[in-house]
Amino acid sequence: MMLFTEVRGLPVLPGTGGDPLGTVTSLAVDAASGTVSHVRLRGGRFRRETVLAWEAVRAIGPGAVRVGDAAAPDPLPPRHDLLGHRVLTEAGTAHGTVLDAAFDPATGRILAVFTTRGEVTADRLLGLGDHALVVRGD
């Protein structure tokens, strides 16, 4: 298990070594499937933000994110960062703000979301948009 906040700031390295591709800025989430979908990183000559599909990730450790050598950037999906997002139930009841999320680094599966009002299990996630993370009510 790893936390999103542990991954932010890690260098992204090609699998066989070499210069870093950039630094992780965030992890994009597909809330409906309960998985990490992309790794957002900033780097390169112009410090532009790019994204890599989760499938390009080979390993995540405490010191770096390793990706396959043929990892090519994906088109930038809409930016819906999980961290800092409001949490609302499907009925519109506020459930705090996202502080962190735990995930399985081998599969990208979300294990839990930690909010200012407690833990939300991954099976309660419904969707993530510009306004909020929507979860099933208690």
> What tens digit of pLDDT does each residue of 47-79 get?
788 888 899 999 998 799 999 876 666 666 666
Say which residue, 18 or 91, is predicted with more confidence. 91
**Residue 3: is it exposed, middle or buried by C-beta count within 10 angstroms (0-12/13-18/19+)?**
middle
Mean pLDDT of the chain: 88
Contacts of 45 (CB under 8 A, 6+ apart): none
pLDDT at residue 71, as a whole number? 65
What domains does the chain contain, in order, with CATH numbers?
A: 2-67 (2.30.30.240), 86-135 (2.30.30.240)
In the chain, count H helices and then E strands. 1, 13
Cα–Cα nearest to 13, from 64, 78, 60, 53: 64
Interval 95-105 mean pLDDT: 96
How big is the CA angle at 116 (ends 111 and 118), to the nearest 5 degrees?
50
Interval 17-30 mean pLDDT: 88
